[in-house]
Each structure stands twice: as structure tokens, then as C-alpha cells.
Amino acid sequence: MRIHSYSLQRNGDIMTVIEKLTRASHLIDMNDIIREGNPTLRQVADEVALPLSDQDIILGEKMMQFLKNSQDPVMAEKLGLRGGVGLAAPQLDISKRIIACLIPNPEDEEGNPPKEAYSLEVIMYNPKIVAHSVQEAALADGEGCLSVDRPVEGYVIRNSRVTVEYVDKNGDKQRVKLKGYNAIVVQHEIDHINGIMFYDRINEDNPFAIKEGLLIIE
Ligand SMILES: [Zn+2]
């Protein structure tokens, strides 16, 4: 009888997910992203300890690098990435309150690159919505999510303007006011650290219902 002893020969160290993802050589790819059904996506994530640890700072940078790669046609093809404008740590099976957003500005009508490449480029630790408009808004084309491998149609009802407080990667407290598409993306990511999926905010009976005052963002 053959004795299977490989498990004893394995390196005894059990690498945690965050250790794996923050290794210098690691590039986050779609294999690192958990999908709907995984219970981590339904947890309320833990606050990040302050001052920020090097590991948490590196994780934030790795998340931002993923978004950059996902928007770069060559890197996205090479790594097999779906394009994304936001990522939250729970999507990596790390239940911490960290999000990254990278929202490119569009080209002008002649196809020239914008003056500023991004309208929002930010890593947020412990982000919190401290104020919001009464007015609600939704993207005309609905939303998608790197953790959801199927289209879900309907208006995702959010606040049209939000004020967010967070700690930046330098450990400094920041406060920003967001509107339009940027406000939608940041709310989508903050939802992830609270265990909320975008489709939770779609009207089940009538996904394209327009309540009075709802702003549709094209
Ligand atoms: Zn998402």
C-alpha cells in the first residue's frame, strides 16, 4: 500500500490570503476574486487598525494596480482581467474595510486623451458616508461587479451625492464630496465592506421603476 505523505512534506507554514496577495511578485488577477455565494461577500468587514500596517498599505496598492492592469488592454489580455473601476478587500476574501477606485476620464470628441487621466484615483481605508443627498440616482446602464459573473439588469438606486470620510494611504484623514458616476462607484464599493451586493438595491418587482426625482446618469 502506498502511503500518501505529501501533506506532511508540505511547508508547514499556512500562508494567509493577505500574505499571498501582498507578496512583491504577486499580481492580483481574477483567480483572487471571490464570486457571489461566498459568505465573505455578505459579512460586515472589520475596521482597519490605525496606524496602517505595511501589509494593509501594500494590499491597497495591489488593489489599485489590479484596477490599472484591468484597464490596460495589453495587461488585461495577458492576465485575463475583466475591466473594473473599483475593488473592495472582501472581494479578495479579506474582510477588511479597504476599497480602491480608479475612474478614467473619457477621451474628447476627437479621441484625444483627457488632460487628467482619472476623475477619481483613490485607496480608502475605513471609508464612511457621513452625509448624502436626499436625491437618488442610478446608472442608465445598471451596474456590474467583478464578483458577479452574470448580467443583472435594473436601476441600482443610490444617493446622487455623498460625502465620504476615510483614511488615505499616508494615514491622513480625508473628506471628499462626490457626485455623478464617482459617487455611484464609491457607494458600490462601500456596500461591499458592509456585505451588500448591487442587486440588493434593484426594485425586485419593477427593476426599471423611476421614482419621482430619480436622477438617471447616462
Ligand atoms: Zn462589486
pLDDT in tens, 172-209: 999 999 999 999 999 999 999 999 999 999 999 999 99
161 has a pLDDT exceeding 60: yes
pLDDT, average across residues 63-81:
98
Q: What is the pLDDT of residue 2?
A: 52
pLDDT, average across residues 134-150:
98
Catalytic hit among 36, 61, 143, 189: 189
Distance 28 CA to ligand 1 centre (A): 16
Q: What is the pLDDT of residue 31?
A: 98
Q: What is the pLDDT of residue 107?
A: 87
CA 48-59-21 angle, 5° bins: 125
Q: What is the three-class DSSP state of 146?
A: coil
Higher pLDDT, 2 or 13: 13
Per-chain residues with Cβ under 5 A from ion ligand 1: 145
73-117 per-position pLDDT tens digit:
999 999 999 999 999 999 999 999 999 999 999 888 888 999 999
User: How far is residue 169 from each of residues 19, 27, 83, 194, measured CA to CA in Å?
Assistant: 18, 19, 23, 21
Candidates 3.30.70.890, 3.90.45.10, 3.30.565.10, 1.10.287.3240; CATH matching 6-217: 3.90.45.10
3-44 per-position pLDDT tens digit:
544 444 445 567 899 999 999 999 999 999 999 999 999 999
Distance 23 CA to ligand 1 centre (A): 24
Q: What is the pLDDT of residue 8?
A: 42
Q: What is the pLDDT of residue 5?
A: 43
Q: What is the three-class DSSP state of 131?
A: strand
Q: What is the pLDDT of residue 12?
A: 53
CA 131-40-165 angle, 5° bins: 20
- Any residues with CB less than 8 A from the CB of 57 and at least 6 apart, and which? 169
**212 in active site:** no
List residues forming the annotated binding site for Fe cation: 145, 188, 192
Q: What is the pLDDT of residue 129?
A: 98
Distance 191 CA to ligand 1 centre (A): 8
Distance 192 CA to ligand 1 centre (A): 7
Q: Which pTM does this prediction carry?
A: 0.92
Q: What is the pLDDT of residue 1?
A: 52
- Any residues with CB less than 8 A from the CB of 81 and at least 6 apart, and which? 29, 30, 66, 69, 70, 75
